[in-house]
Structure 1
Amino acid sequence: MKLFSKEQIYEGDKLTTERQNISSTDLMERAGTQIFNWIHMRMQGAQVPVHVFCGIGNNGGDGLVLARHLSTHGYNVVTYIVNCSNKRSKDFLINYERIKNVTKDWPKMMTSAADFPQIHQDDIIVDAVFGIGLNRSPDDWVQELFQKFRASKAFTLSIDIPSGLYTDKAVDNENAVVHSNYTLSFQSPKLVFFLPETARFTVQWEVLDIGIDRDYLMQTETESELISKFEVLPLYQPRDKFAHKGDFGHALIIGGSHGKIGAVNLASRACLSSGAGLVTAYVPNCGYDSLQSSLPEVMVITDKDENYITDISFNIDPNVIGIGVGMGTDDITINAFEAFLKKNKKQLVIDADGINIISKKKSLLKLLPTQTIITPHPKELERLVGKWTDDFDKLSKVRSLSTKYDIIVVIKGANTITVYKDKQYVNTTGNPGMATAGTGDVLTGIITGMMAQGYEPIPATLFGVYLHGRSADISLEDYGYQSLLASHIIDTLGEAYIDLFKKPEEPAEGEQQQEE
């Protein structure tokens, strides 16, 4: 699913009105009606007090359309105008007149904190104050209103985006943003719903189709995409009946040090379980016995040193190499890693201490093959690109790094984001149970295994990140957040593959299936 920028959304609205021969007011009516339909289907006429707070721009106009429909359908609705400026949009004014024509309870004008209504915990708040066009922090009294929303503990529904949240920059003041329980986003979600610093302003979100021109949606390229089952399913490469292990590549996993051989074990197991035909592990000599006994499917090559990687040399011809897990950053290992990069011609997946070594010696970035994949966690990423001021600054730094060195960067987190040059892909699978030792090693193994099978670097990364998270979601059903282990994710990789082809469950009799 594409994540459109603010400018692209405006352009889509404009083209829609032109191509469908409708006015912007008609499009607003369509949007507001969709919100009403969503609410009406859930409330079924219940007389819970609904407070609709409308700004004086187009987001407020959407709120007025909603309030008008709620009023004409007999709901207990009170409408407020948050009068925070002298400027009013044309479509807001049109819908302001329309709602006055259908109810005696005209919208109540608010100009200061003295106008705030009483809101009870069992009421419903509809936030239609500011939309995606906001470019400055709201006035102090409006911030107080948003804080009143939160203090009331009433269910808060935001239209398109929580008011006070920007689409393209960090928040100035969290008290100046509505904390929503649910956001109904027009046509596509917003990138800020998935960034660590801004995702917390909406607990859940859902997309409402308001009929934006289909050609525009299909043909417009976006900087960001949301990756779900429907995006990765077309990437899947089916297996031929007469295939053999040689058809699915040979992966080499390099890493480990005394006390950290488990990282290589996890990565190698995950590599095999993701579908690689053959996997060889290259480890210090201390890892030989444990790997051979615990993972008989994997071949093992050992370094001449007992405890560290000191000289990376092998006589096999792998298709792809995953390197860095548990490797350590001892000086002799750093030298071995640099010597390896200078002579290596194979595709690489680099994680953990491989990234840490590069962070210590950034000149090594120039030695990486085109579209090398690196998979840092936040601290490893900070060592590589430096401190960032906010999530947007972080993405900017990563895009610059990716463009300069032609590498793929996987920013691991709650919504793992894969960055390649000016493109960023937001993953939708995974859960907090993955915040445990070894899950990063598993991801390295999965992506390396995808590459071994012949997937190109970007599809391999997106598919691997998705499967990693989906497998963890499946494991969660048995283990919960606290007891989920990295090895459980490997155990359910097969189920994650099978899940790709499962059809959505049919709704129970009498229920209606809600489409995004």
Structure 2
Amino acid sequence: MKIFTAEQIRNGDEYTIKNEPVSSVQLMERAAQACVDWIFENCKNHRNFAVFCGKGNNGGDGFAIARMLHLKGFDVDVFTNSKAKFSSDAGNNFRELKEFSGVFIREFKEAKEYRFDNRTVIIDALFGTGLSKNIEGEFKELIDFLNLKSNLKISVDMPSGLFADTVSDENATIFKADYTLSFQFWKKTFLHPETGKYAGKVKVLDININEDYIAETKTEDFVIHEDMIKDIFRPREDFSHKGTYGKAIIAGGSYGKMGAAVLATKSALRTGAGLTFTLAPKCGYEILQTSNPEAMFIEGGNDFIDHFETDEHAVCGIGPGLGTIDETAKSFLTFLKNYSKPLVLDADALNIISQDSKNVKIIPKNSIITPHPKEFERLFGATENSFERLKLAKNKAKELGIYIVLKDHHTQVVTPEGDAFYNITGNSGLAKGGSGDILTGILTSFSAQHYSEKEAAVLGVWFHGRAAELASEKHSKESVLPTDIIDEFGSVFKELNAKIERAL
């Protein structure tokens, strides 16, 4: 699914109006109806709606939503500046709304005297994607007031005060929604930690923007969508054997850190690699052979790895629990200088590389690296915010010819072409040691199974997140363990296979 800028979204509206038999008011009606359908389905325990409408088209959406909610039998109060100079379509919807005697239209200043009971939903339709400056004056006071309310809050298309494409000022006033009903597209700011926290849970509603416009309009930013995953995923062939699904080598572990190698190995096994090996120090032999008897052991040292052995026909994932002592670091960097096939690099492999800025140049082309924000900073330098970090990641991916899996709440897969694919599966249950190790196992396994590096990275982060969602449903986000997530891999594969079968 493409992510468009605010300007591209406006152009899409205009293109749709120009090339289809639909007026701007009718397109607004579509958007409002999509919102009301969602609200009707998901807010059945609420009876009252307080709808706050600005003077632009976002306010016009709000006026139409208020009218439709009233017709469905809800009690609706609309707050606006009745003396404002409304946009053409907003004005039309405002005048139409005034004809409904059951809808109370109030001035913004009346909000402070309004009784917000626990069955009242606050709907924010003050400012949409056209906002170009920070909110001030009466709107700042109004939003600050509404943010203090404990009522369920829903924003129409965008939380008011939030920009679509860029980070907001630290002290900006922004409506804090529980849900954002976004029209047709994700906005970039929904996907970054500094700004996404204002959007709450995002629901993207289809309002039938012209398909030709969507297909022909270029962007570098995408959301990983289930349709994309179905196109990538290849069900297991009946007439196949272990050689069909490649060899995966997990290189990691050191004295006291064997658990990381265990998790990565178990993850690679559970995601379908034909043969899985673990390159680890001798101190981990019994641990690994006991915990993962299906994997073969390659000795790489005594208490830490001091030499790297690989198979030219295997894909190697390096880093979980590796440690950064001098002998390991020296051996690993020597290996990198003499190795040309793509690798999966994580954790201490990245920490060793970051010890000298020149080391990034010896990462083999088309490798997948998986830094969290601090590891990324050590590799490539500090940035002011996650938007700047992504920009730098795109530059580095192009410069080095590598794939960067930039781990975050919405992990981004950054390609050598400069594209970014945001993952929207997963949850805070992954905020726990070991989660990154199982991702390394997934990526190594998928790469071994002859998925391209891009396919392995996109499918891998989606798969990782989806398994975490299923595990959290059983154990809670607080209690879920990385091993619980691995246990759900089979359920994710079952879902994928079922979707493929239904599509046939």
Does 2:90 match 1:92?
yes
Does 2:423 match 1:427?
yes
What is the match of residue 69 of structure 1? Answer: 68
Change (3 A) 1:49 1:442: closer
What is the match of residue 308 of structure 2? Answer: 312
Query: Which of 255, 267, 270 pairs up with 1:258?
Result: 255
Question: 1:252 Cα deviation (Å)?
Answer: 1.8
What is the match of residue 352 of structure 1? Answer: 347
Q: Distance in 2 between matches of 1:56 and 1:224?
A: 31
Question: 1:137 Cα deviation (Å)?
Answer: 0.7
What is the match of residue 165 of structure 1? Answer: 162
Please give the residue correspondences for 1:18-33 in structure 2 after superposition, counting only pairs within 5 Å: 18-33=18-33
Q: Distance in 1 between matches of 2:81 and 2:70?
A: 19
Q: Residue 458 of structure 1 aligns to which amino acid in structure 2?
A: K
Query: Which of 217, 220, 237 pairs up with 2:217?
Result: 220
Aligned pairs, how many? 498
8 A contact 2:429–2:478 mirrored in 1: yes
CA RMSD of superposed structures (Å): 2.5
Partner-residue secondary structure (3-state), 2:127: coil
Q: Residue 79 of structure 1 aligns to which amino acid in structure 2?
A: V
Q: Residue 57 of structure 2 aligns to which amino acid in structure 1?
A: N
Q: Residue 243 of structure 1 aligns to which amino acid in structure 2?
A: S
8 A contact 1:12–1:212 mirrored in 2: yes
Question: 1:162 Cα deviation (Å)?
Answer: 0.8
Q: Distance in 2 between matches of 1:270 and 1:318?
A: 20
Partner-residue secondary structure (3-state), 2:50: strand
What is the match of residue 116 of structure 2? Answer: 120
What is the match of residue 81 of structure 1? Answer: 80
Partner-residue secondary structure (3-state), 1:202: coil
Question: 1:17 Cα deviation (Å)?
Answer: 0.4
Please give the residue correspondences for 1:206-285 in structure 2 after superposition, counting only pairs within 5 Å: 206-285=203-282
Q: Distance in 1 between matches of 2:21 and 2:358?
A: 57
Question: 1:443 Cα deviation (Å)?
Answer: 0.7
Question: 1:208 Cα deviation (Å)?
Answer: 2.0
What is the match of residue 10 of structure 1? Answer: 10
What is the match of residue 147 of structure 2? Answer: 150
Question: 1:107 Cα deviation (Å)?
Answer: 4.1
8 A contact 1:146–1:175 mirrored in 2: no
Query: Which of 367, 376, 380 pairs up with 1:381?
Result: 376
Q: Distance in 2 between matches of 1:298 and 1:47?
A: 55
Does 2:395 match 1:400?
yes
Question: 1:73 Cα deviation (Å)?
Answer: 5.5
8 A contact 1:256–1:262 mirrored in 2: yes
Partner deviation per Cα, 1:360-403 (whole Å, 9 max, x = no partner): 12212212222210111222122123232222112112112212
Partner deviation per Cα, 1:435-466 (whole Å, 9 max, x = no partner): 22212111101110000010000111111112
What is the match of residue 469 of structure 1? Answer: 465
8 A contact 1:410–1:418 mirrored in 2: yes
Partner-residue secondary structure (3-state), 1:3: coil
Change (3 A) 1:492 1:21: closer
Q: Distance in 1 between matches of 2:346 and 2:62?
A: 48
Change (3 A) 1:83 1:357: farther
Unaligned runs of 5+ in 2: none
Please give the residue correspondences for 1:178-189 in structure 2 after superposition, counting only pairs within 5 Å: 178-189=175-186
8 A contact 2:123–2:153 mirrored in 1: yes
Change (3 A) 1:117 1:51: farther
Q: Distance in 1 between matches of 2:56 and 2:474?
A: 48
Partner-residue secondary structure (3-state), 1:210: coil
Please give the residue correspondences for 1:300-339 in structure 2 after superposition, counting only pairs within 5 Å: 300-303=297-300, 305-314=301-310, 316-339=311-334
8 A contact 1:447–1:461 mirrored in 2: yes
Q: Residue 98 of structure 1 aligns to which amino acid in structure 2?
A: E
**Normalising by the residue count of structure 1, what TM-score does the alignment of the two structures yield?**
0.89
Question: 1:173 Cα deviation (Å)?
Answer: 4.4
Q: Distance in 2 between matches of 1:121 and 1:193?
A: 29
Q: Residue 91 of structure 2 aligns to which amino acid in structure 1?
A: L
Unaligned runs of 5+ in 1: 505-516
Question: 1:101 Cα deviation (Å)?
Answer: 4.2
What is the match of residue 366 of structure 1? Answer: 361
Change (3 A) 1:295 1:175: same
8 A contact 2:46–2:121 mirrored in 1: no
What is the match of residue 299 of structure 1? Answer: 296
Q: Distance in 2 between matches of 1:47 and 1:409?
A: 44
What is the match of residue 340 of structure 1? Answer: 335
Question: 1:41 Cα deviation (Å)?
Answer: 5.1
Partner deviation per Cα, 1:91-149 (whole Å, 9 max, x = no partner): 22333333334449674444xx5774424132222111000111211113212211211
8 A contact 1:251–1:318 mirrored in 2: no
Q: Distance in 2 between matches of 1:73 and 1:289?
A: 66
Partner-residue secondary structure (3-state), 2:32: helix
More displaced stretch, 392-401 vs 189-198: 189-198
Question: 1:312 Cα deviation (Å)?
Answer: 2.2
Q: Distance in 2 between matches of 1:74 and 1:430?
A: 37
Question: 1:332 Cα deviation (Å)?
Answer: 2.2
Change (3 A) 1:47 1:322: closer
Percent sequence identity is: 38
What is the match of residue 58 of structure 2? Answer: 59
More displaced stretch, 48-57 vs 8-17: 48-57
Partner-residue secondary structure (3-state), 1:280: strand
8 A contact 1:252–1:318 mirrored in 2: no
Q: Distance in 1 between matches of 2:74 and 2:289?
A: 69
More displaced stretch, 368-377 vs 189-198: 189-198
